[in-house]
Structure 1
Amino acid sequence: MLSTDDRSLRREFGWFMLIALAVLAAGIGMRDPWPPDEPRFALVARQMLESGQWLFPHRGMELYSDKPPMLMWTEAFWMWITGGWRGAFLLTSLFSGLGTLALVWHLGRRLWNGRVGLVAATLVLATMQFVDVIKHAQIDPLNLFWITLGNAGILLHCLRGPNWRLYWLGCFAAGLGVITKGVGVIALLMLLPYVAMRARQWPGVTVTRGDGWRWAGGALAFLLAIALWLVPMLATAYGLRTPEFMAYVHDILFRQTAERYANSWQHEEKPWFFLLVILRLWIPTWLLIPFVVPGWREALRMRDPRVWMPLMWCVLVLAFFSIPSGKRAIYILPALPMLALAMAPYVAGLLKARWLQAAAFWIAIACATVFGGAGAWALAKAPKAAQRIAEGYEMAGHGQPLWWCVIAVGVGFLVSALAFRPRRGVAALLGGMALGWIIWPVGTYPMLNDNQSARGLMEKADIAIGPDGQLGLVLWREEQMYQARRPVAEFGFARDAAAQLHDARAWQQADPAHRWLLVNEEAFDDCVVTDKVMRLGVANRVRFALLPADASRQGCVPASTR
């Protein structure tokens, strides 16, 4: 039988998860995939469903080898099970986010108690980067879930074990992380602080004897998860041995993993880049770190592995991603749940401090003032910044509806502050943040979607070419093919613009009366007859136009190819 306290804590966790669902799910079904990544993965998933080709993702006619197919598999599943519902592409991120929060709560409850688990999960949900990432259909939410599951299995085995099934589950989850984004292996770094603490005989660390084969079973579980995709993929590729499939194998196994880590070719940043990311995007969680450092110091003196195993893992992850020159803000996110777990025991006590409640309350008031004031200024004064933003989204005027949404976020903070008062200032701040994360997508998704998703552009193109028209895409983006209202012709995605336009013109000349080219205006050459071009407008700050057959000079050879 559960005690009264246990039932109360479980009830509180249930309410927490309902709030998390409202925050993370707000806006789902109100928009289509938005660049840069969402349309690509949604398009690949839809092509998987249509073609039945699950081992080798395709983007149009070309193989897509930038990422393993795990996310695309899940998106295809949701598309299939929901019958192609508009919001299906976001469901993997939603359930990954909720699953991550549940795992953090479970870890806190098992290592300390339910109150600590709830505080840890709240710290994760309150962090700006976490909510922002979960609200987008990128690979990272699913990767975050697998890594957190890997951490949970290993931590519970090493600190509340032995529990070999959980250990093997953690290693298996790390393998699933590898076939999601390659870096799932970082979950296994949790074993390094465990080995160090066991060697130094820290209290509370699981000690086993004569179980070498069981520890080795973790490596087997890790490799088994990877083999679920790798073995059939390699067997098929080497069975066919076409240049395209062999290039896919080389790219995804070597260039996109080891070579990308050791010799990054994009997103070059300084070694301290991730410290700046934490300062900018892990608000408000990192603001509490100075107040928990004394607790960490005491935990080190007491040799408490519950605190220092996840903390040391966070340091290892920070070092792992800081070594290569290529860095993106999203890489460091998997460290957040473990940092929150290490902070939670001390934050739980800190919440009783009156100064913290008062400070949080006035921060909520400041947020209400900033959002409300900025929105009102943009609405009334129409500054150049507001006009540029409106032009980028092709919004009428200077984007007045957008600034009303900014004001509404400010009102949400104010309402929360008035409802909870200074005595419950932390609740006031968290409530304002939750309302902001709900108000913003519900208010802005409908007004921005046509531009961001290229839905409006493709509707214009579909009307312009008529019911018998055929459409070819040149220098296209994934959202265009995803939003196409009829089958389209395309001439490669990774090929240069001149090659695409050359082949597109040949295709068009085979039936000039019915075939049109939708062209990114950056691909225009000196053979384009500008007077014949039909300008369609801007989508994601890129201009597109329709070219009928007579918009290209007959017999013209572009200067770039002479």
Structure 2
Amino acid sequence: MMATLTCLPTFTRRHERLATWLLILLALLVLGLGIGLRDPWPADEPRFALNALEMPKTGNFWLPHRGGELYPDKPPLFMWVTALGIALTGSVRLGFLLPSLLAALGTLTLVMDLLRRLHGRRIALLGGIALLTTLQFTLQAKTAQIDMLLTFFTTLGAYGLLRHALLGPAWRWWCAGWAAMGLGILTKGVGFLPLALLPAWYWLGRDGQITSLRFRELIAGIGILLAVVALWGLPMIVMTSLGDDPSLAAYRDNILFKQTGERYADAWHHVKPWYYYLSQVLPWAWMPLTLALPWAIPAWWRRFKRHDTRIILPLSAMGLIIVFFSLSPGKRGVYMLPTIPFLVLAMAPLLPGLWQRRGLQHLGAVTLVLLGGVLLAAGMLGKLGLPALQALAQRHDLSPWAWWITLGVAAMALLGWLKPRRGLLALTLWFAVFWGLWSTWGYSLMNETRSPNAMMQRVAAITGPDAWLALPAFDEEFLLQSRQPSVHFGYHTPLESQLERAYAWLQQAPDVRWMLIDQHHRDALECVALDEARDLGFQNSEEWWLIPATAVADCRGDADAAPLFVAPTSLTKTEVGTT
């Protein structure tokens, strides 16, 4: 497709518009394929689905809950949108991925529209294809994590600021950009990332090359951002500061301080070295655009010396965002997702020339050989019973050999058809094949091992649907998929306290109460008569026991050791595993 688009100057404006709409429809097909075929998968998806399900059932939309317990880690906007998606479709499977899909389509539209205004429709089409084929962008569009919606708002914020800087003055877009950053903060605290445009903007604006950045207008923009944040933040502070409930005060302090400044400056998990993104994330996250960097960097330098503001602004913002996240000790690969629209804005004008580079085409061919060859070899060796691969498959309860072989064969077939001189096109088409098989065949293979849907149905069949289930040391996916009334004892409560409370709760009604717990907690269950436990087998990387209340008769319980949380979603038997 990209090879065809390099000839777009001969197209009429009508054909170019048609190509734009066809690309958007293709994006809808690629990104939307597979919706309804799988359940929410850990780590984050079941948590946000739980948050969304509880909002309409409890009527508490302002302060998100997880299994009846306040969830203080993120603002609620993503949960609101997820709840709306589930309500409109009537199914978790259909609704939980809609926010990421719509956010990805919105991001694609914004990037293409800005490229069209800055460089013309041909470059906009090439940029749209580049964004759609970038690995991390498509992966997150198919994942119900919060970061795709964040990226939409940061892209909208950057769009508003860049429309004003490069095509303005455009005061409405200036205001819209700041409002979008406020919504981004209500999605995830770093919604202010488009502010990384300001240093280069100030530098360039002094010479009159772009719309000047004035202090008065900057103050007005900050005011808009703060006003949007205050729409949720001020009522939240009032609600959590009045009264004597310590959990509300803890929620306020966590969301305002621990999940923002402390999480950045003194992270307590995902601690990585400063070069983590440059060495371990961006090489795959920006693929296949990563392959073009050896040729793109000199071209960017030439444009920089010509003071091409259309390149300097997005490129500078992208670099500052990478530096910003690299300075924090806590790092996750998904934090780099907002850099991808900036990368595409900077690289799209170079794509017609880059596409003609023989070395880049051959590099694409080599990459395809490596990816396809590894999958083909792994699939065949796994099929033949290589012990290491068999152990890996057994650990994850998965046999992906035919799937991997098919992807490997597809890679070799595409390369044989298109030849190394069009290796980048072959790699791009292979990614399309990969996502098609990932969203269908891959979902069907992985859903049973990544979702406890079937296991929780077995639990309900053993206990009866009206029996109550205790979930100490729970993971959200088990609470989400529960088919019966369920309780837990605080997500962050120490295990010893959870078990003491669970024993007391089980002993109150031994005929109708059970406990589900993974077997690696065996050492903490010394008082339990494990000969009465039902072995449920392997699920989500653990072995599980279903223990009747009669098995804990000799255990010492403490009804006051920790709070008891009743999960509203399980009480109403919400349909989460089927459409």
Structure 1 and Structure 2 fold alike (TM over 0.5):
yes
Match of 1:323 among 309, 321, 327: 327
1:42 matched to 2:45: no
Structure 2 letter corresponding to 1:479: E
Match of 2:303 in 1: 299
Q: Distance in 2 between matches of 1:67 and 1:287?
A: 35
Between 177-186 and 545-554, the greater mean CA deviation after superposition: 545-554
State the partner residue of 2:540. 540
C-alpha separation between the residues in 2 aligned to 1:39 and 1:364? Answer: 34
Indicate the residue corresponding to 2:430 in structure 1.
432
- CA 1:240–1:80 in structure 2 vs 1: closer, same or farther (change >3 Å)? farther
**Partner of residue 445, structure 1:** 443
Task: Show the 5 A alignment for 1:99-498.
Answer: 99-199=106-206, 201=207, 203=209, 205-207=210-212, 213-276=216-279, 277-361=281-365, 363-379=367-383, 381-395=384-398, 399=399, 402-417=400-415, 420=418, 424-498=422-496
Q: Which letter does structure 1 place at the counterpart of 2:276?
A: F
Please state whether the residue corresponding to 2:374 is helix, strand or coil: helix
**Secondary structure, counterpart of 2:352 in structure 1:** helix
Instruction: For 1:63 and 1:296, locate their aligned partners in 2 and report how far apart those are by CA, in whole Å.
Output: 48
**CA 1:431–1:444 in 2, change beyond 3 Å: closer, same or farther?**
same
Change (3 A) 1:6 1:240: farther
For the 8 Å contact 1:171–1:188, the answer to whether it is kept is: no
Deviation at 1:212, TM superposition (A): 5.4
CA displacement, residues 449-492 of structure 1 (integer Å, 9 cap, x when unaligned): 12211112211211111244222211111111110112212222
Q: What is the CA distance between 1:557 and its match in structure 2?
A: 7.8
In the alignment, does 2:76 pair up with 1:69? yes
SS in 1 for 2:515: strand
Pick which of 114-123 and 247-256 moved more. Answer: 114-123
Q: Secondary structure at the match of 1:86?
A: helix
- The equivalent residue for 1:531 is 531
Cα displacement string for residues 164-204 of structure 1 (whole angstroms, at most 9, x for unaligned residues): 111111111111111111001111221221011112x153x
CA contact (8 A) 2:202 2:212 kept: no
Output the amino acid matched with 1:142: L
Corresponding residue for residue 514 of structure 1:
512
Deviation track 1:515-557 (CA, whole Å, cap 9, x = no partner) reads 1111222344211112111111222112221111232252558
Q: Which moved more, 1:260-269 or 1:172-181?
A: 260-269
The verdict on how the C-alpha distance between 1:108 and 1:528 changes in structure 2, with shifts beyond 3 A counting, is same
Task: Provide Cα deviations, 1:185-238, integer angstroms capped at 9, x if missing partner.
Answer: 111221221011112x153x1137xx7544432112211221221122122222
**Residues 418-427 or 42-51, more deviating:** 418-427
CA distance in 2, matches of 1:555, 1:52: 38
Preserved CA contact (<8 Å) 1:406 1:440:
no
Aligned partner of 2:15 among 8, 13, 28? 8
Secondary structure of the residue aligned to 1:266 is coil
1:106-138 per-residue CA deviation (whole Å, 9 max, x = no partner) reads 121111111222222222222222222222111
8 Å contact from structure 2 (residues 291, 363) kept in 1: no
SS class of match (1:474): coil
State, as a whole percentage, how many aligned pairs show the same letter.
37
Q: C-alpha separation between the residues in 2 aligned to 1:448 and 1:295?
A: 43
Contact 1:164/1:214 (CA < 8 Å) preserved in 2? no
Asked whether the 8 Å contact 1:149–1:173 carries over to 2, the reply is yes
Please tell me the residue identity of whatever aligns with 1:28.
Answer: I
Structure 2 residue ranges without an equivalent (≥5): 1-9, 562-579
Partner secondary structure for residue 184 of structure 1:
coil
Per-residue CA deviations over 1:60-109 (Å, capped at 9, x if unaligned) read 13110011111111100001111125131111111111111111111211
Verify: 1:83 aligned to 2:90, yes or no.
yes
Question: Are the structure 2 counterparts of residues 384 and 133 from structure 1 closer, same or farther at C-alpha, using a change threshold of 3 Å?
Answer: farther
Shift in Å at residue 4 of structure 1? 5.8
Amino acid at match of 1:528: V
**1:60 and 1:493 in contact (8 A); partners too:** no
CA displacement at 1:45 relative to structure 2: 0.6
Task: Tell me how far apart the structure 2 counterparts of residues 55 and 517 of structure 1 sit (CA, whole Å).
Answer: 32
Conserved in 2, the CA contact under 8 Å of 1:189 and 1:316?
yes
Distance across 1 between alignment mates of 2:407 and 2:28: 19
User: Structure 2 length normalisation: TM-score?
Assistant: 0.90
| SS of aligned partner of 1:53 | coil
Letter in 2 for 1:321: F
Matched residue count: 547
Please state how far the C-alpha of 1:162 moved relative to its aligned partner: 0.2
Paired residue for 2:40? 33
In the alignment, the residues of structure 2 paired with residue 439 and residue 202 of structure 1 have an alpha-carbon distance, to the nearest angstrom, of 51
Amino acid of the structure 1 residue aligned with 2:539: A
Bigger relative contact order, structure 1 or 2, given CA contacts below 8 A and separation 6+? Answer: 2
Q: Aligned partner of 2:254: which letter?
A: D
Whichever residue aligns with residue 469 of structure 1, its letter is A
CA distances 1:313-366 after superposition (whole Å, capped 9, x unpaired): 111111111112111111122111111211111122221345544553454455
CA distance in 2, matches of 1:6, 1:450: 48
Larger CA deviation: 63-72 vs 351-360: 351-360
Q: What residue is the counterpart of 2:3 in the other structure?
A: none
SS at match of 1:547: strand
